[in-house]
Structure 1
Amino acid sequence: MDTQRGHTNRRRFLLIAGLPLLTVGAGMTYLLWPEPRTRLEVRTDLEPLNRRLGPFLGELTDAHWLGYDIDDKGGDRGIPSPDSRIRVVGLARLPAGGAAAITGKPDHAFAAGGAPSDLPAALKQYLPAAATWQHSPGFDAYANGRGAAEQPSDGTPTGRYLFDADRDLVHFDVLYLFT
């Protein structure tokens, strides 16, 4: 009978002492857990863009862009996918006459392209309202093929490029698949 009473007292002590410790531990975990990413920061650095897009666009300047994993849920703590899809989207200025030089090549057959679609909200303020965008599926195929051949470590790109020759602007929306 005394041995059972000792077990009951020990359980009561562990419950009374352990409950506050568990509560403090849960509270500290909550305070120290990283916040989910709710907003993307617009980037203006040029080196990553010029490394990936420069070989077929020329030296880019005055860029506003985003680069992010489109499968990232922010605060999701699941097992990461073996494949990641990185979206690089934004606007940049080409050297003087650079857009006209690209759109003027007859082998790409550029035509009116309409405004960029599915532009993230953070970039909309940098999109000129009166831009006259031109697009060429042939140039997209050229740029995507050239990027895959020259930059195998940077993933396999699929992208769409729009040009405004009056402002020497390029809008790029490229998806890199890393396997």
Structure 2
Amino acid sequence: MDVQRGRTDRRRFLLIAGLPVLTVGAGLTYLLWPEPPYRPEVRTDLEPLNRRLGPFLGELTDAHWLGYDIDASGAGDDRIPSPDSRIRLVGAARLPAGGAAAITAKPDHAFAPGAPSGLPAPLKKYLPADAAWQHSPGFDAYANGQGGKSEASDGTPSGRYLFDVARDLVHFDLLYLFT
């Protein structure tokens, strides 16, 4: 009988002492488990782009783009947002027929050859490798300044626009600062 009582006491002790240890161990494992790297998904919806870029680029079609908070660590980021959010809007879209030629032909913008830089990997396949990109700091200033302002455009944009006249493509890489 004493043997039976000893086993019962030992089981009770293990249950009482082991349960909190297992709970703490499981909690620490959950907290310390590494999250998979955040990879934003390529978007193809046009409404957000046409709302922000349409007033000075025209109606965009066939878009592939990313929009993400550059300060966020990833999907499900549950941190308290900073008072100044920085949203990167980067991608490529097709302009109306002749749209790129009309924009690059304006002499006040002085377009010159340029190249995209810092393109996120998911977007590389959507920009033709043999594109003849044209860039103008003057057009960037226009689009990011008064030309980029519309009632639907929130935040203060900064960034670059590159045009491929042969394909009527625009590549945009913008940073919106929300304060």
TM-score relative to the length of structure 2: 0.80
Unaligned runs of at least 5 residues, structure 1: 1-11
Task: Give the deviation of 1:147 after TM superposition.
Answer: 5.5
- CA gap of 1:135–1:148, structure 2 versus 1, over 3 A, is closer
Q: Does 1:170 align with 2:170?
A: yes
AA aligned to 2:52 is: R
Q: Does 1:93 align with 2:94?
A: yes
Aligned to 2:107: 106
Aligned to 2:124: 124
Q: Distance in 2 between matches of 1:149 and 1:23?
A: 53
Q: Distance in 2 between matches of 1:176 and 1:14?
A: 55
- For the 8 Å contact 1:163–1:170, the answer to whether it is kept is yes
- CA gap of 1:18–1:61, structure 2 versus 1, over 3 A, is same
Q: Does 1:141 align with 2:144?
A: no
Q: Distance in 2 between matches of 1:112 and 1:21?
A: 61
Report the structure, 1 or 2, having the larger helix content: 1
Q: Distance in 2 between matches of 1:58 and 1:155?
A: 20
Task: List structure 1 segments (4+ residues) > 3 angstroms apart after TM superposition.
Answer: 12-24, 75-79
- CA gap of 1:92–1:40, structure 2 versus 1, over 3 A, is same
CA RMSD of aligned residues (A): 2.7
- CA gap of 1:159–1:74, structure 2 versus 1, over 3 A, is same
AA aligned to 1:174 is: L
Q: Does 1:40 align with 2:40?
A: yes
Larger CA deviation: 47-56 vs 143-152: 143-152
TM-score relative to the length of structure 1: 0.80
**1:114-135 deviations in whole A, cap 9, x for unaligned?**
x201000000011111110101
Aligned to 1:52: 52
**1:60-96 deviations in whole A, cap 9, x for unaligned?**
0000000000111227654431111000000000010
- For the 8 Å contact 1:50–1:60, the answer to whether it is kept is yes
Matched residues, number? 164
Aligned to 2:157: 157
Aligned to 2:4: none
- CA gap of 1:36–1:148, structure 2 versus 1, over 3 A, is farther
Unaligned runs of at least 5 residues, structure 2: 1-12
- For the 8 Å contact 1:147–1:156, the answer to whether it is kept is no
Q: Distance in 1 between matches of 2:70 and 2:133?
A: 25
Aligned to 1:3: none
Q: Does 1:69 align with 2:72?
A: no
